[in-house]
C-alpha cells in the first residue's frame, strides 16, 4: 500500500516552479496504481504496482528524476507517458502468463524512459529522439547547384541526410543565386538561369515573382536579411560588383553602391550592420566596408588579399571570416578570422579549405558548405564543416557531411527535419 508518510521519492523538489503539476501528475500515478492493484492476485503483483507507482511519481515534474519541472515540457511528458500507459494496458489484456506480463512491464518502462524527462531524455526534449518532441530546426537544406535533383537536408550533427524534392522550371534554377530569408520565407535572387529573377520556395516548389531585380546578380553576388528580417539587401552586381538593391517581398529599390568592388567578398553582420570584406577584383583587395541607410563606410583593412570566404555575424557584434583564397600566395585557405573592435585576429583553422562556400549560423554553430574538394583530391567529396563558437572563441571544428556535386556559393537554408523529403517508391 502507499505510505501516508511523505518521503523523498513522493515529494516535489524544493522550490520547483512546477510543484502544482507534481500534484496533478501524482494523482494520475495513484489512479494507475489502484488500477494495477485491481488486477492483482498476489503479493508479488502488488509489490510490482508499488514499484511502478514510485517510479511514476519520481518521473513527475519536480520529482526525483525531473527536479526542475522539465523546463516547460511537462505537457509533452504527460502526453508521452499517457501513450505508454495505453500500450501497456493493451499489452496486459492480451497476456495469459506472468512471463508475458513481465514483457509488458519492461516495454512500458522502456517507453517511459524514452519520454521527455525520462531516463534517456533527462533534459526534456533537448537531444531527445522521441517523436513526441518538436522537430529540431537544426537542419540545413542544400540546394543542388547545376541540378535541383541533388538537393538534400542534413541534420546539424551530420548523422541524417535525406534527399529533398524541390521543383523548379530549370534544373540549374538556383545556380549562382544569392539567397536570404525575408519575413520568414526563403528567397533566391538572380543566378545563372536568369540573373534578374526573384523567386521563393512555396511548399516544395520555386515560385517566381513578377517583380525583378534592376541589376544582374550572379557570380560573386551576395544577399543578407536586414531590418530584423523584414527586407533583404542584395549586393555586388555582375558588371561592377558595387551596386546594391533592397527587396521587401513586393518591391525592389536601388540603394547605395559600395565604394570598392566586393565580388566574392560576401556579406555578414558586424556591429549590427551588413559588412563585406575583400574582392576578386584588385581594386577591392583587403577593403572592408559596412552598410547603413546613409551609405557605405570603410573599416580596418584585412591583413590578406583574400576573397571567396564566408562571413558570419555573432551575437557579440563581432564577425567571423572563414576560408577563402589568397591570390598572393595562390593558396586556398583554412584560416578563421575574427573582426572585433575593428581589429582582425586569426582565431583558428578549418579542417579543410573552403573557397566560395556558403554559411549559416544556428545557435552556437556555423555550418559551412564547401563548393569543391581540396583533399584528398579536387574531384573528391565536398565537405560540410561545423564550427562551434562560444564567447567569440572557436571551441571545435568538425566535418559533419559531404556531397559529390560542385556547389559554388550553394543556396542553403535552415529548415525542419522533414522539409520536402523526397518520397521513396
How large is the C-alpha radius of gyration of the chain?
28
- Residue 157 confidence (pLDDT): 83
Residues 71 and 147 in one domain: no
Residues 388 and 276 in one domain: yes
Residues 182 and 318 in one domain: yes
Q: How confident is the model at residue 65 (pLDDT cuts 50, 70, 90)?
A: low
The mean pLDDT of 112-130, rounded to a whole number, is 77
DSSP 8-class letter at 258: P
SS3 category, 239: coil
Grid look-up 538556383 returns 174
Torsion of CA 82, 83, 86, 90, to 10 degrees: -160
H or E element in which residue 87 lies? helix 74-93
Residues 181 and 277 in one domain: yes
pLDDT at 67 over 90: no
Within a domain: 132 = no
CATH at residue 265 = 2.120.10.80
Residues 91 and 194 in one domain: no
pLDDT at 342 over 50: yes
- Residue 62 confidence (pLDDT): 75
pLDDT at 61 over 80: no
Residues 184 and 88 in one domain: no
Residues 103 and 193 in one domain: no
Within a domain: 126 = no
Residues 247 and 394 in one domain: yes
Count of beta carbons in the 10 Å neighbourhood of residue 23: 13
- Residue 401 confidence (pLDDT): 86
Print the domain residue range for 49. Answer: 19-113
Residues 80 and 145 in one domain: no
Q: How many domains does the chain have?
A: 2
Within a domain: 395 = yes
Q: How confident is the model at residue 104 (pLDDT cuts 50, 70, 90)?
A: very high
pLDDT at 259 over 90: yes
Q: Residues 6 or more apart from 201 whose CB is under 8 A from it?
A: 166, 185, 186, 207, 413
The mean pLDDT of 329-336, rounded to a whole number, is 93
Q: Residues 6 or more apart from 277 whose CB is under 8 A from it?
A: 262, 265, 266, 287, 288, 302, 306, 309, 311, 321, 339
Residues 60 and 145 in one domain: no
Within a domain: 251 = yes
pLDDT at 409 over 50: yes
**How far, in Å, CA of 223 to CA of 143, rounded?**
16
Weakest-pLDDT range from 72-81, 210-219, 270-279, 342-351: 72-81
- Residue 7 confidence (pLDDT): 37
Q: How many CA atoms lie within 13 A of 248 on its CB side?
A: 6
Within a domain: 380 = yes
- Residue 370 confidence (pLDDT): 78
Q: How confident is the model at residue 27 (pLDDT cuts 50, 70, 90)?
A: confident
Greater pLDDT, 30 or 330: 330
Residues 109 and 143 in one domain: no
Within a domain: 283 = yes
pTM: 0.69
The mean pLDDT of the chain is 86
Residues 150 and 281 in one domain: yes
- Residue 130 confidence (pLDDT): 75
Within a domain: 97 = yes
Q: How confident is the model at residue 137 (pLDDT cuts 50, 70, 90)?
A: low
**How far, in Å, CA of 291 to CA of 297, rounded?**
7
pLDDT single digits (tens) 160-209: 888 999 999 999 999 999 999 999 999 999 999 999 999 999 999 999 99
pLDDT at 57 over 70: yes
Q: Residues 6 or more apart from 137 whose CB is under 8 A from it?
A: 362, 414, 415, 416
Within a domain: 134 = no
Amino acid at each position: 500500500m502507499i505510505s501516508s508518510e511523505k518521503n523523498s521519492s513522493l515529494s516535489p523538489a524544493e522550490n520547483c516552479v512546477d510543484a502544482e503539476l507534481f500534484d496533478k501528475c501524482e494523482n494520475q500515478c495513484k489512479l494507475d496504481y489502484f488500477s494495477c492493484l485491481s488486477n492483482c492476485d498476489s503479493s508479488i503483483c502488488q509489490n510490482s504496482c508499488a514499484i511502478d507507482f514510485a517510479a511514476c511519481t519520481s518521473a513527475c515534474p519536480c520529482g526525483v528524476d525531473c527536479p526542475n519541472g522539465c523546463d516547460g515540457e511537462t505537457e509533452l511528458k504527460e502526453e508521452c507517458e499517457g501513450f505508454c500507459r495505453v500500450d501497456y494496458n493493451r499489452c496486459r489484456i492480451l497476456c495469459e502468463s506472468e512471463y508475458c506480463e513481465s514483457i509488458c512491464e519492461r516495454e512500458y518502462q522502456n517507453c517511459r524512459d524514452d519520454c521527455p524527462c525520462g531516463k534517456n531524455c533527462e533534459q526534456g526534449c533537448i537531444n531527445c529522439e522521441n517523436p513526441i518532441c518538436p522537430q529540431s530546426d537544426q537542419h540545413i537544406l542544400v540546394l543542388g547547384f547545376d541540378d535541383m535533383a541533388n538537393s538534400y537536408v542534413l541534420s546539424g550533427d551530420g548523422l541524417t541526410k535525406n534527399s529533398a524534392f524541390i521543383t523548379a522550371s530549370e534544373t540549374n534554377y538556383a545556380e549562382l543565386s544569392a539567397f536570404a530569408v525575408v519575413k520568414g520565407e526563403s528567397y533566391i535572387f538572380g543566378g545563372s538561369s536568369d540573373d534578374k529573377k526573384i523567386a521563393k520556395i512555396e511548399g516544395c516548389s520555386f515560385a517566381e515573382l513578377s517583380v525583378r531585380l534592376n541589376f544582374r546578380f550572379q557570380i560573386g553576388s551576395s544577399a543578407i536579411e536586414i531590418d530584423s528580417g523584414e527586407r533583404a539587401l542584395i549586393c555586388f552586381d555582375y558588371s561592377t560588383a558595387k551596386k546594391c538593391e533592397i527587396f521587401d517581398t513586393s518591391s525592389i529599390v536601388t540603394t547605395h553602391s559600395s565604394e570598392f568592388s566586393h565580388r566574392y567578398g560576401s556579406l555578414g553582420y558586424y556591429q549590427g550592420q551588413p559588412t563585406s570584406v575583400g574582392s576578386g577584383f584588385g581594386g577591392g583587395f583587403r577593403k572592408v566596408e559596412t552598410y547603413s541607410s546613409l551609405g557605405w563606410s570603410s573599416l580596418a583593412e584585412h591583413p590578406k588579399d583574400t576573397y571567396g570566404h564566408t562571413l558570419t555575424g555573432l551575437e557579440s557584434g563581432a564577425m567571423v571570416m572563414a576560408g577563402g583564397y589568397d591570390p598572393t600566395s595562390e593558396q586556398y585557405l583554412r584560416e578563421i578570422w575574427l573582426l572585433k573592435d575593428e581589429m582582425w585576429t586569426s582565431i583558428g583553422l578549418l579542417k579543410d579549405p573552403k573557397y566560395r562556400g556558403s554559411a549559416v549560423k544556428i545557435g552556437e554553430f556555423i555550418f559551412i558548405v564547401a563548393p569543391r574538394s581540396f583533399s584528398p583530391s579536387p574531384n573528391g567529396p565536398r565537405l560540410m564543416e561545423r564550427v562551434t563558437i562560444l564567447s567569440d572563441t572557436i571551441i571545435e571544428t568538425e566535418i559533419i557531411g559531404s556531397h559529390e556535386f560542385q556547389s559554388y556559393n550553394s543556396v542553403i537554408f535552415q529548415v525542419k527535419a522533414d522539409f520536402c523529403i523526397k518520397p521513396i517508391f
